[in-house]
Amino acid sequence: MSAALIPGVDRILFTEEEIESRIREVAAEISSRYVGKTIKLIGVLKGSIFFLTALARHIEVPVKIDFLGISSFSNKSGAPGVVRIAKDLDDTIEGEDVLLVEDIVDTGFTLRYLLQTLAGRAPNSLSVCTFLDRNSRRIVQVPVDFRCFEIPDRFVVGFGLDYNQLYRNLGYVAVMKLDRSA
Ligand code: IMP
Ligand code: MG
């Protein structure tokens, strides 16, 4: 799907080739950090699935994969940060080396909630790998162990990230126009 065909797209931020090459680097970092262990990759639906599958293919230690689904919504005053699990993991994570895989860490509310929830299930270790990190908008401090790209304060789509559930299937990451109806 070419960027020119998509209404609302301003410019491409990361091409398919840049993404592939950076994912290989991060997978190598992860592989060396987890030598001798089995990683339980936990993907947060739906945004992380493209990243998780690409990453998993390049990790050189054994991996297991599970997913959880969340819904997040604003509270009565319109503030973000209310998160709940809509689809739980299939299996226990007790005693496992868990690597939580996110599409993007923005304010940090989602990640904080997930880390608190998963930490309560007694994994052997719990780390975070995110495809994108928008640190400039962080409201709550959360640990990020592995990241592919730091991004500017603009809304992005592609490689799993959506706008109204669209554009997740783009192979690249693109910045949306400020006026998204354009
Ligand atoms: P946080 O709780 O603010 O860190 O929100 C993270 C979630 O918001 C991500 O998992 C995405 O689902 C969504 N999100 C944040 N920024 C973007 C973006 O630029 N494009 C698409 N989704 C985004
Ligand atoms: Mg997400």
Q: Of these residues, 88, 106, 133, 162, which one is catalytic?
A: 106
Q: Is the CB of 46 under 6 A from ligand 1?
A: no
Q: What is the pLDDT of residue 5?
A: 60
Spacing, Cα 161 to ligand 2 middle (Å): 8
Q: What is the pLDDT of residue 6?
A: 81
CA 108 to chain centre: 12
Residue nearest atom 22 of ligand 1, based on CA coordinates: 161
Q: Does residue 106 have an active-site annotation?
A: yes
Q: What is the pLDDT of residue 73?
A: 75
Q: Is the CB of 70 under 6 A from ligand 1?
A: no
Q: What is the pLDDT of residue 77?
A: 65
The burial of 121, by beta-carbon neighbours within 10 Å (0-12 exposed, 13-18 middle, 19 or more buried), is given as middle
CA distances to 51, 128, 131, 133, 147 from 103, rounded to whole Å, are 7, 11, 5, 9, 10
Q: Whole-model pTM above 0.85?
A: yes
Spacing, Cα 104 to ligand 2 middle (Å): 6
Q: What is the pLDDT of residue 7?
A: 81
Q: What is the pLDDT of residue 78?
A: 60
Question: In sequence order, what DSSP letters do the residues of 25-92 get, joined into one string?
Answer: HHHHHHHHHTTTS-EEEEEEETTTHHHHHHHHHH--S-EEEEEEEEEEE--TTS---EEEEEE--SS-
Spacing, Cα 180 to ligand 2 middle (Å): 20
Dist CA 46 CA 74 (whole Å): 19
pLDDT mean for each 10 residues of the chain (182 residues): 72 97 98 98 97 98 98 69 92 98 97 97 98 97 98 96 95 88 52
